Structure 1
Amino acid sequence: MTIDSGSFPVPAALVEHARRFRAEGSTPAVPRVAATVLLLRPAAVGFEVYMIRRVAAMAFGGMYAFPGGGVDPSDAQAHPGWAGPDPQEWGGRLGVASEAARSVVCAAAREVFEEAGVLLAGPDPATVVGDVSGDDWEAARVDLEKRRTHFAEFLTGRGLTLRSDLLLPWSRWITPEFEARRFDTYFFVALLPEGQRTRDVSGEADHTLWISPADALRRSAAGELTMLPPTLLTLAQVAAAGDLADVARLAADRDAATPITPRLADLDGDTPYFTLD
Structure 2
Amino acid sequence: MTTDGFAAPPALVEHYRRFRAEGGTPATARVAATVLLLRPAGTDFQVYVIRRVAAMSFGGMYAFPGGGVDRSDSQAHLDWAGPEPATWGERLGQAPDAAQAVVCAAAREVFEEAGVLLAGPDAATVVGDVSGDDWETARQDLEGRRVGFADLLAGRQLTLRSDLLLPWSRWITPEFEPRRFDTYFFLALLPEGQRTRDVSGEADHTMWIRPADALARAEAGELTMLPPTMVTLAEVAAAGDLAGVVAASATRDAATPITPHLDLAADGTARFHLR
With 71-80 and 134-143 compared, the bigger mean Cα shift is at: 71-80
- Equivalent runs, 1:60-79 vs 2, <5 Å: 60-79=58-77
Q: Which whole-Å CA distance do the structure 1 matches of 2:182 and 2:267 have between them?
A: 28
Give the alignment partner of residue 149 of structure 2, picking from 136, 148, 151.
151
Q: Which whole-Å CA distance do the structure 2 matches of 1:218 and 1:147 have between them?
A: 38
* Structure 1 position 140 matched with structure 2 position 132: no
Q: Which whole-Å CA distance do the structure 1 matches of 2:101 and 2:215 have between them?
A: 31
Q: Which whole-Å CA distance do the structure 2 matches of 1:30 and 1:173 have between them?
A: 14
Aligned pairs, number: 275
Specify every segment of 5 or more residues in structure 1 that has no aligned partner in the other structure, as ranges: none
1:12 is displaced (CA, Å) by: 1.0
TM-score scaled to structure 1, two decimals? 0.98
Map of 2:82 onto structure 1: 84
Q: Which whole-Å CA distance do the structure 1 matches of 2:213 and 2:39 have between them?
A: 15
- Equivalent runs, 1:107-256 vs 2, <5 Å: 107-256=105-254
Matched position secondary structure for 2:56: coil
CA contact (8 A) 1:118 1:198 kept: yes
CA change 1:228–1:124 in 2 (3 A) is same
Map of 2:258 onto structure 1: 260
Q: Which whole-Å CA distance do the structure 1 matches of 2:170 and 2:32 have between them?
A: 10
CA contact (8 A) 1:19 1:267 kept: no
Matched position secondary structure for 1:119: coil
CA change 1:106–1:129 in 2 (3 A) is same
RMSD (Å) for aligned C-alpha atoms: 0.9
Give the alignment partner of residue 106 of structure 1, picking from 86, 101, 104.
104
TM-score scaled to structure 2, two decimals? 0.98
Matched position secondary structure for 1:89: helix
Q: Which whole-Å CA distance do the structure 1 matches of 2:27 and 2:105 have between them?
A: 21
Map of 2:44 onto structure 1: 46
Deviations 1:213-264 (A, max 9, x none): 0000111111110000000000000000111010010000000000000001
CA contact (8 A) 1:68 1:108 kept: yes
Specify every segment of 5 or more residues in structure 2 that has no aligned partner in the other structure, as ranges: none
Matched position secondary structure for 1:26: coil
| Paired residue type of 1:262 | P
Map of 2:26 onto structure 1: 28
* Structure 1 position 95 matched with structure 2 position 93: yes
**Aligned residues with identical type, % of pairs:** 75
* Structure 1 position 273 matched with structure 2 position 271: yes
Deviations 1:158-179 (A, max 9, x none): 1000000000000000000010
